[in-house]
Amino acid sequence: MPDLTIAAVIGSLKAASVNRAVFAAARELMPAGVELIEVSITDVPLFNEDVEAVGDPAPVTALKDGVGAADALVIFTPEYNGSMPGVTKNAVDWLSRPFLNGPIAGLPVGIVAAGPGRRAGAGVREHLALTVAMTGGAVHGETHGIGGIHGSLTDGALTDHETRAALRSWIEGFVAFVRDRPTGD
Ligand SMILES: Cc1cc2nc3c(=O)[nH]c(=O)nc-3n(C[C@H](O)[C@H](O)[C@H](O)COP(=O)(O)O)c2cc1C
């Protein structure tokens, strides 16, 4: 029975997503008592206030309930054109509703970006941190970027020792950030 549950949103719909590989490694590297659970965005529709007005579609309810039930959220995302992919932004937009009262408001949020470039997704990490802050999410100031990702993968899995050690170190910092936050009880 975990004492801390962290929801994971993977901002890529690609089956062989490198960010999914990083998520899989992160799940293995979680400290004892901490569970990382994916909350799927695969079937989440594009945000539309008219749709929202008549009730959240089932995949949106599942997303909001999954994140709302967790103690924290980590977003694993690629960088597209120097910023976040539409699917990542779309998930955050749904999670932000109702504004400042959605499941992401007040939630500790970690940001991890992996890609082939040397800048390790610096653009998406910066932009996503600003977006999540707008929603009332408590962004962990230290984001984690993995550049040159293909050199760290073997058969689609994150196997490179140093890359895994750096990810583990970031996870430990994020878990400390989550545990140190006031609970309000
Ligand atoms: C539309 C598009 C834009 C991209 N822009 C960037 C970029 O700005 N920076 C970067 O490092 N990689 C960029 N890439 C490459 C992605 O990082 C790469 O495809 C990566 O594998 C995507 O992550 P995923 O495998 O988890 O889906 C882009 C890819 C696409 C399809």
- The predicted structure's pLDDT at residue 183: 66
Nearest CA, atom 4, ligand 1: 80
Rounded distance between C-alpha atoms, residue 37 and residue 88, angstroms: 17
Domain CATH number, residue 41: 3.40.50.360
Indicate the length of the chain as a whole number.
185
Partnered with residue 45 across adjacent β-strands are: none
Rounded distance between C-alpha atoms, residue 26 and residue 18, angstroms: 12
82 in any annotated domain: yes
- The predicted structure's pLDDT at residue 17: 98
Answer yes or no: are the C-beta atoms of 21 and 157 closer than 8 Å.
yes
Nearest CA, atom 2, ligand 1: 80
By most ligand atoms within 8 Å of CB, the mutation choice from 10, 23, 81, 112 for ligand 1 is 81
28 in any annotated domain: yes
Nearest CA, atom 23, ligand 1: 78
185 in any annotated domain: no
102 in any annotated domain: yes
- The predicted structure's pLDDT at residue 182: 77
- For 77-130, the pLDDT digits (tens) are 999 999 999 999 999 999 999 999 999 999 999 999 999 999 999 999 999 999
CA of 77 to the centre of ligand 1 (A): 9
Specify the range with the lowest mean pLDDT, choosing from 63-77, 109-123, 171-185.
171-185
138 in any annotated domain: yes
Nearest CA, atom 29, ligand 1: 80
CA of 97 to the centre of ligand 1 (A): 28
Atom number, ligand 1, closest to the C-alpha of residue 82: 8
Which residues form the pocket of ligand 1, taking CB atoms under 6 Å from any ligand atom?
12, 14, 17-19, 78-82, 115-117, 121
Nearest CA, atom 14, ligand 1: 80
Answer yes or no: are the C-beta atoms of 6 and 73 closer than 8 Å.
yes
Structural domain boundaries, residue 90:
4-180
Domain total for the chain?
Answer: 1
Mean pLDDT for the stretch of residues 27-32? 98
50 in any annotated domain: yes
87 in any annotated domain: yes
